[in-house]
Structures are given as structure tokens and as C-alpha cells.
Amino acid sequence: MKRVLPLFTSEPGEFPDARGRFGAYGGRFVPETLIPALDDLESAWRAARADAAYREELSALLQDYAGRPTPLSDAPRLAQVLGVRARLLLKREDLLHTGAHKLNNTLGQALLARRMGKKRVIAETGAGQHGVATATVCALLGLECVVYMGVEDVERQAPNVSRMGLLGAEVRPVEAGSRTLKDAMNEAIRDWVTNVRTTYYCIGSAAGPHPYPLLVRELQSIIGEEIAAQCAERLGRAPDAVVACVGGGSNAIGAFHRFVPDRRVRLFGVEAAGLGLDSGKHGASLSRGRPGVLHGSRSYLLQTEDGQVVEAHSISAGLDYPGVGPELSHLRDARRLEVLAATDAEALEGFRALARSEGILCALESAHAIAALPKLPAEVRDAANAAVVVNLSGRGDKDLATILKALGSAR
Ligand SMILES: *Cc1c(COP(=O)(O)O)cnc(C)c1O
């Protein structure tokens, strides 16, 4: 008989509490009309995660459709090129169907939508990666799919708009505001308020109002569960550190969550420093933001003195977001999460180092995690007996045009 993947095996733990708070963060800052829908979603989720039939169906799709478990690859030549003495291991989410970790989340949410009897799924997308992952699972399960996307992004991310169309989804361009992700999110929420009886809202990161940060974390935690099992087999113990890039925070919390109670495992989140942390053009909400409310929950946020949300900047579209999920904000304040940052230029260098040393073209988001490895504390980086797992969140095909343009003649 087929093995069932270790889904939802860890207890949810202390956080979020009954009100969806992770310490000072999270919660529900949404129109009153959505509270019953969020309550429904939460109870449907609790029932689904406890139901063996849901777990088995998700497990089968994650294995036979998406390609789990993903490999854990040793990267000795990368370590040498970067001057890292610790053993480096890459968790290969880049090898998942559609090329990134996002499918772990959309598969679980689409199965949940179907369980809840909703035949229409909506999503917002910035770079288009979450839109493609949502369109993919809607095609697979025969669900109607509408994706909201800022006009600016529709133009910048034309290949993903085409992909969504080919997968049978309808892309609705959003003209409002700065015509990017946060406007698309507002539009998706408006749609949900109007059509809440028939419609499931599929959020793409461990952000948004409760229960989304919990739900997305649980669906992405398969990454950390596999890392734990693979390290137990390979090393006979847990890794010494796990490193992941942080946009909204879903691949990071997915890789970290299993290890949060084990204080011996250090957790490093890498934010986009863009043109530099002091340039004002970056996506480093944990490093340089202040707590505020965006997209229905309280978390670290890039904002002006008087609380206006600031546009983020990063060469990687997936890290170009002014907020971050509430759980990472909490872990940062609790000093459980250590926050690093890599600039656009450093990420490009990381991309190239990985390509030339290991034969892997990674996503620019993931290249930030690679670029941060030389910045790890010396006691981790220089310890020959230490093992560091880097979550390689996605593959680089989507970024080739950007990378070639940025590298220019340096290529
Ligand atoms: C979307 C994306 C990210 C950022 O999203 P998180 O929710 O922070 O994980 C990172 N890497 C890749 C490859 C992505 O597509």
C-alpha cells in the first residue's frame, strides 16, 4: 500500500491562539460580513485535517501529481565556492510541479474548497506564480478559477498571464491604486464579500486574516517534515540550521515550523534588501518595517511615519511585498527567527554561484537564501561538522529574462 505523507502530524502548538493571534500579530481585520465565512473556513479546515480521507487524497496528489517527497541534495561545490565550511543541503522545492513550493498550498486549499461545496475559486497574484498554482489545481479538480492581478503586473508578467489562460482561468486586471498586488488583494476580498456563498478565496502565502496563516503553514509544513526525516536518515539527527527566503513567508514557515520547538536548530529568514536596506527600495519588512495592519492581519509592514504602506522593491517578484506573515513576525520578536537580507546584486551572484557549482538554475527568490549563506554567523558557517539546509523554493525559468538583462555583459 502507498505510504501516506507526514501531513498535519505535528500538533498545532501554542500559536495561533483561539483568536488567531501569534503573540501581538495576526487576528482578523476584515469587514464584518466576512467573519462568518472565516469561521466556516476554520471549522472546515479543522474537520479536514482530522479526516483520514482528506489526508490520504492530498497525500496521493502530492506524491503522484506534484512529485513529493522532493529530494534533499548535497551541495559541496556550492559550499566551497561560497567559502562555507558547514555541509550544505538543498531542499529541492524547485523540482515540484509548476516549479515551486506554492502547489503544496493550492492543492490543499482546492481540495478543501471542494469539500466545502464551493465550485468557484478566486485568488490574487502579484508575479503570477500563485495565480498559476491556483489555476493548475482548479483545472485538475474541475473548479472555476478567477485570478485578480494588478494591471501593472499583467503587463510585467505576461508569460504567467498566458499560462493561467491556457489552464482555463480568467485573469481580471485591476486598475485601482498602484495597480499591483495589494490592489489585486483588495479586489479579491471585494469579490469574496459579494459571492461568499459559492466562492472559495485561495490565499497564496501564510498571511491574511485568521485562519489563513495557520492553514497555509500547515499545508507547507510538509517541507520541514520531509527535511526532518531526510536529515534523520542522512545525518542521524536534525540539521543545525534551516535557511529560507521570506516574501509573505510561506516557504519559510513551511520549512521552519517542524523545528520551532527544537532550540538546537537555528532558523534564518532572508529578506530582499533590494537596492540596499538604507535605500528605501527593498522588501525587508521584518528588518525595517513596523507593526501595522495589511490584508486583514497585524504584522510587520513597510510604512511611512504616518502609516501609509510603502511599495516594496526587489529584483525577485515573489519577495516584492510590503508585508510578511504574522507568525514570522512573532518568531522574530521572540528571537527564535534570525533575520538576514540579501540585495538584488547579491541574489544575482548567489544565482550564478549555484548555477555554476551545482548545475541548478534557481528562482531569484531562492537565490536570496543562497546569497545569505556567507552571512551566517561564523559558529554555523565555519563549523565543519554543522549541517545547513537551504530551502530552494523554486526554479529559475520564470526569471531568465530578468537575470539575463541584469547580468548583461557580465554574463
Ligand atoms: C512566491 C515565491 C516565494 C515567496 O513566497 P513565500 O510565501 O514567502 O514563500 C519564494 N520563492 C518562490 C520560488 C516563489 O514562487
**pLDDT value, residue 409:** 53
Among 102, 118, 182, 398, the active-site one is 102
Does 102 participate in catalysis according to the annotation? yes
Rounded to the nearest angstrom, the distance between the alpha carbon of 191 and the centre of ligand 1 is: 24
Is residue 393 in contact with ligand 1, taking CB distance under 6 Å?
yes
Ligand 1 neighbourhood includes 250 CB (under 6 angstroms)? yes
- Other CB atoms within 10 Å distance of the CB of residue 61: 20
Residues of the chain above pLDDT 90, percent: 92
How far apart are the CA of 205 and the centre of ligand 1, in A? 8
pLDDT of 179 reads: 86
Peptide bond just before 76 cis, omega within 30 deg: no
Q: What is the mean pLDDT of residues 295-304?
A: 96
- Cα torsion through 374, 379, 384, 388, rounded to 10: -60
Short-list 95, 25, 23, CA closest to 66: 95
Amino acid 410: pLDDT: 53
Does 224 contact ligand 1 (Cβ within 6 A)? Answer: no
How many angstroms separate the CA atoms of 246 and 180, rounded?
19
Residue range 303-326: mean pLDDT, rounded: 93
pLDDT score of 1 more than 70: no
Per-residue pLDDT, averaged over 138-149, amounts to: 98
Closest CA to 92 of 108, 76, 61, 69: 69
Is pLDDT at 38 greater than 90 in this prediction?
yes
- The per-residue pLDDT for 303 is 96
Spacing of C-alpha 396 from chain mean position = 16
State how far the Cα of 121 lies from the Cα of 157, in Å rounded to an integer.
Answer: 21
pLDDT at 172 over 90: yes
124 is catalytic: yes
In ligand 1, the atom with minimum distance to the C-alpha of 127 is: 1
Cell matching residue 54: 482528506
pLDDT on residue 401: 92
Q: Provide the grid cell at 377.
A: 554567523
Contacts of 64 (CB under 8 A, 6+ apart): none
Sheet holding 337-343, edge to edge: 72-74, 87-92, 387-392, 241-245, 266-274, 337-343
pLDDT tens for 336-367 read 999 999 999 999 999 999 999 999 999 999 99
* Cβ partners under 8 Å of residue 71, min gap 6: 92, 95
What's the CA-to-centroid distance between 322 and ligand 1, angstroms? 14
Range in 117-121, 215-219, 308-312 with the lowest mean pLDDT: 308-312
pLDDT in tens, 361-409: 999 999 999 999 999 999 999 999 999 999 999 999 999 999 999 998 5
Question: Tell me, what's the pLDDT at 408?
Answer: 85
Residue 293 pLDDT greater than 70, yes or no: yes
What are the phi and psi torsion angles at 353 (to 5°)? -60, -45
So what's the pLDDT on residue 3? Answer: 85
Q: CA 98, CA 140: separation in Å to the nearest integer?
A: 13
Find the catalytic residue in 59, 187, 393, 398.
393
Q: Are 94 and 359 in contact (CB under 8 A)?
A: no
In the reported structure, the alpha carbon of residue 319 is separated from the centroid of ligand 1 by a whole-number distance in angstroms of: 7
Residue 411 has pLDDT above 80, yes or no: no
For the stretch 82-102, pLDDT in tens is 999 999 999 999 999 999 999
CA of 324, closest atom in ligand 1: 8
**Is a pLDDT exceeding 80 seen at residue 11?**
no
List of domains in the chain: 21-62+102-216 (3.40.50.1100), 72-99+221-407 (3.40.50.1100)
Q: How confident is the model at residue 287 (pLDDT cuts 50, 70, 90)?
A: very high
Comparing 16 with 183, the larger pLDDT belongs to 16
Residue 331: closest CA among 208, 226, 206, 238: 206
pLDDT in tens, 204-263: 999 999 999 999 999 999 999 999 999 999 999 999 999 999 999 999 999 999 999 999
